[in-house]
Structure 1
């Protein structure tokens, strides 16, 4: 059966059973993962997934069920399970389907990825490995190199008359390298993302990983100090990703966010502008509509440092008395919509990153952090993570640093952002998160 026929069959059957509102989420995907090591493909795996999730509202109680079998009997059993689950669930007056709106048209699929052979993908990964070794004899090993891609098709239909479909492609390559000089060993990683192989720059990715690893050779702890801290784009994106989770209306309404009472308040420096943009052409979080059919758009979350809105799906928006921001998120057909980011981006300025570096008399450039999930608390705001990078003196990088901790609290960090550079990059950090280099006025760097 075609997707439209499956959706129509389930919706009509649900209505005959007396379901007030019903939604069908149909998803098919295929993905490939390739791991190379020492000039050979170590493993190649391919997976396919197909399934339907059915969400029903019975007297304002929500029921959800899914199936991976699309024959008539399985679809009816799935609907019956969703109906039973709704009857076992407490009613919530805010449970409802969104109103029907026309989604935008987005260019997020490349047929070339579907036509690319496994051999071509392996060759690409092997070329990246070789480029890293060619960069410098100090690079001794590529201990991890993974290529992965995916093509996903989603169809959503509901009893209010919404019907939407999109197809998306994405690909990703990641490597972790080791550099050595005498007995000292350092490591670094880099990755590239895109919609097709042509979007992945092997030369740039190899240079980024190799140069970073070499730069960190000879690193040592520094004495504990409170200094300006420069966060490179990847590190800044990891920090912004933690903040994104705390700006979910779901987290706020469950009492799990330090921003719960901050709506409309200044929570960051004036030069901080953060948007969630589900329509960015290059953003891997872009789709024409969210996980329940609400059109994606560009939402100003923090505007000139002021918290303008939380991220909402339909249910959280109804509870808050506002409109959905199009942030209903579902990892697959196996789960009902929650709240998640699209492309969560701290907007860049026109200031080159070199200018921020040059403005620092003494400070720390953070090139990598460890333990962000355990060391950054989105409820209390505490922030303390391991870090390595380069010490800064008189606007110049002076020596590599490792085995230190950077600490502050999230609200202080946001308010202490003293510089935003122009070098915006998007990273697959808990979704799609983007940031340029950021200068934080002061943080504690704890070393020896």
Structure 2
């Protein structure tokens, strides 16, 4: 990708020629290599170079036209600007988007390295070795049907006609391993793990193997669970899945569209147990996919969403911030229209009462490792969910895998029913989060 200064010069020259006074451009380029294996042989190897550039143009009536392109050379930008300018006559006349007031403000001073990628042959070699090691971990593991290893280089930039210029790049690598078991008289069971790092050399493949094997083996001797209400402990991955499924709770665009569990007046109200605090923190030190600015050029930051159970903030774009008399938070995604999404969750204990709970001493507690079917089992507008899950029944530290079961409830009631947030957090690709204890939830077994 050319330097952002070169792209800005191309765009400025084209804009002057066309007669465009106001425009902005956001772009990203992804260079990735990935591999999958099966039975000790390569199953699929892919290499891709993808680019997306979004161009917005304001005409003399302040209406906006938007187009996308994959070219950032002079010819590609010239065509994109012309197309966006022609489209601007059909632009929306209400809540017209504008530049971010922070598009030229300093971003966080974070050193993000772009590291060289390893050859595809190295990826295949490491994944074949991981597959063999995992299958040798227990006689019941007969395959690792879902697996993958990959590496990505990502470059992003933002510029506008008022002189804003931003560009950053980063690298990361990832691996996932999911097993399949077969035992006589037993259903096939599956479990897995995911690890992510800034480079292939630092990727914790051994940790991924150990976690996948441990979970798989723990699910072999499964038993049915009685349908009842149980005290439930959510793993970091499971709790973050629920937070993401109900993110309309603090998404300002959803709130303005009346597609949310919150209203503009919800700020400052108690919506959860005082045990819970939640932040959106794109700049968290262990966030491998850290980004210092969003699609509108706004610097990212730590945004308090829930503090000690009180709803303290919303995620904003430039447009929603203007309509709600707030500041943009660096959560905008640029496209045909501007959308909003969380960057990276940070969940931690809020106000504690000195109580401490432990699975080593717990009785008849359900530990949920992961939830499935979020696309079908969540009604985000009503706040309800009914989701199949993988997990264990825990008695004094002894884990018994649970046969097919679902967990159901109301998300707001779940937040109110949190009785403990453990002090030790786990870093995941989606956020950093500890295990979260909820007093009573409905579990339906077979």
Alignment TM-score, normalising by the size of structure 2: 0.91
Contact residue 123 and residue 150 of structure 2 kept, 8 A: no
Tell me how far apart the structure 1 counterparts of residues 141 and 410 of structure 2 sit (CA, whole Å): 37
- Displacement of 1:217 in angstroms is 1.4
The C-alpha deviation readout for 1:176-204, integer Å capped at 9, x for no partner, is 10233433231112110111113321221
CA RMSD of aligned residues (A): 2.3
Counterparts of 1:335 and 1:94 in 2: how far apart (Å)? 13
Q: 1:12 to 1:290 in 2, by over 3 A?
A: same
| Distance in 1 between residues matched to 2:93 and 2:21, nearest whole Å | 13
Pick aligned residue for 1:290 from 290, 294, 299: 294
Mapping of residues 48-447 of structure 1, within 5 Å? 48-58=49-59, 59-99=61-101, 100-111=104-115, 114-184=116-186, 185-260=188-263, 261-330=265-334, 337-347=338-348, 355-393=357-395, 395-428=396-429, 432-447=430-445
Secondary structure of 2:9 counterpart = helix
The runs of 4+ residues in structure 1 deviating greater than 6 Å are none
1:160 Cα offset (Å) = 2.2
Mapped contact 1:251–1:257 kept (Cα < 8 A): yes
1:273, 1:304 within 8 Å by CA — same for their partners in 2? yes
Quick check: 1:362–1:392 contact (8 Å CA) kept in 2?
Answer: yes
* Preserved contact between residue 263 and residue 307 of structure 1 (Cα < 8 Å): yes
| Unaligned runs of at least 5 residues, structure 1 | none
Deviation at 1:335, TM superposition (A): 5.3
How many Å apart are 1:12 and its aligned residue?
4.5
| Greater Cα shift, 371-380 or 9-18 | 9-18
Alpha-carbon shift at residue 20 of structure 1 (Å): 4.8
Q: If the length of structure 1 is used for normalisation, what is the TM-score?
A: 0.91
CA contact (8 A) 2:260 2:381 kept: yes
Against the structure 1 CA distance between its residues 336 and 47, is the aligned structure 2 distance closer, same or farther, given a 3 Å change threshold?
farther
Aligned partners of 1:435, 1:37: CA distance in 2, in Å?
Answer: 33
Q: Deviations 1:297-335 (Å, cap 9, x if unpaired)?
A: 1111111111111101111111111000111124xxx65
Give, in whole Å, the separation in 2 of the partners of 1:203 and 1:72: 47
- On the 8 A contact 2:95/2:319 being kept in 1, the answer is no
Inter-partner Cα distance in structure 1 for 2:375 and 2:36: 26
Size of the alignment, in residue pairs?
437
Distance in 2 separating the partners of 1:31 and 1:200: 16
Three-state SS of the structure 1 residue aligned to 2:192 is strand
